[in-house]
Amino acid sequence: MQNKIILALLGVLMVTQVQAKTYQPQVPTFNETNGNQRAKNNPWQNIGTAMVAGQRLPAYAVSVRDPIEEGWISEDDACHPKACVLPVSANVRTEQLYRLMAVRVAGMGWILAPKTWRNIEADVGVNGSQALLMKSADGREYVSYYHSGACVGCALTAAAPFFPQAFKLAQADDYEPNRPNPSIQLVRAQNNKVLFSYTLSNQYTTHGVAFWQNADDEPYQDMRVTVSQDNTALAGVILNAGMMAF
């Protein structure tokens, strides 16, 4: 009888392991398909100039809808180089920065992006979650950012493909996480920080950074940059100056 019970438990475990799917990254899409409506949901404002690695970049503010009350959350105070300084590596070349602008997204922070990009969707949730997607005019290049906020299950399932401990914890709590994808190249910069890259079919290569720590005040975050081969050098600059609190 005892052997039968053990075999039954092993069978359940094997089925559970088989059912775990491999993580498959997707090309991000806007929730709001109407471009004019997206522009209304996240209005832009020119706020001056920001200083990045000793260079002055045009600075803009993007408002987001308030998740609790009617209206928008805005951080559109005028910006000047001494007040708006974005930390990036000192070895960034001037010609790289010349092609970028600094964007302050309300409730999130600063992000660098190519000067010509204006197609954006940004949201904050009542639990502190954050989501941003910004694309080029043709939609083939993009920057995305995700912050899980105060949602343990969200953090564990999102972190599972990149952090073994998160995968185990998600399984233990029955969150049905996706397994790591061996085609995604990972570099563990720190215990709580992973650099990754992958190339989807008929897409430019995506470079990203994921952060997760098993603590209530350190939720999961990731930022991804997908750009053409001509703009590859910009990916590292954008990630380096990203809004993630590493």
Give DSSP secondary structure letters for 66-135: -SSSSSEE-----B-TTT-EE---TT--HHHHTTEEEEEETTTEEEEEETT--EEEEEE-TTS-EEEEEE
Above 90 in pLDDT, residue 7? Answer: no
* Mean pLDDT of the region 4-25: 58
Above 50 in pLDDT, residue 4? Answer: no
Angle at 83 between CA 79 and CA 89, to 5 degrees: 105
Question: 245 to each of 10, 85, 87, 147, 185, how far by Cα in Å?
Answer: 42, 16, 12, 10, 23
Using the structure block, give the residue that is written with the tokens 């920001």: 50
Above 90 in pLDDT, residue 245? Answer: no
Residue 246: predicted pLDDT:
54
Above 50 in pLDDT, residue 16? Answer: no
Give me 33's structure tokens.
Answer: 């398909």
- Which pairs count as long-range contacts for 121-127, CB under 8 Å and 24+ apart, including other chains? 121/30, 121/31, 121/32, 121/38, 121/41, 121/42, 122/42, 122/62, 122/64, 123/31, 123/64, 123/65, 123/67, 124/64, 124/67, 124/73, 125/67, 125/149, 126/67, 126/68, 127/151
Above 80 in pLDDT, residue 12? Answer: no
Q: Are 64 and 45 in contact (CB under 8 A)?
A: no
Count of alpha carbons within 13 angstroms of residue 121, beta-carbon side: 18
Alpha-carbon distance of 114 to 123, in angstroms, equals: 21
Above 50 in pLDDT, residue 47? Answer: yes
Alpha-carbon distance of 7 to 228, in angstroms, equals: 52
Computed over every residue of the chain, the mean pLDDT equals 88
* Mean pLDDT of the region 173-192: 93
Beta-bridge partner residues of 190: 193
Alpha-carbon distance of 69 to 135, in angstroms, equals: 28
Question: 25 to each of 22, 79, 198, how far by Cα in Å?
Answer: 10, 36, 9
Query: Model confidence at 233, in pLDDT bands (50, 70, 90)?
Result: confident
Alpha-carbon distance of 147 to 102, in angstroms, equals: 20
Could you tell me which residues come within 8 angstroms of residue 201 by beta carbon, excluding any fewer than 6 positions away? none
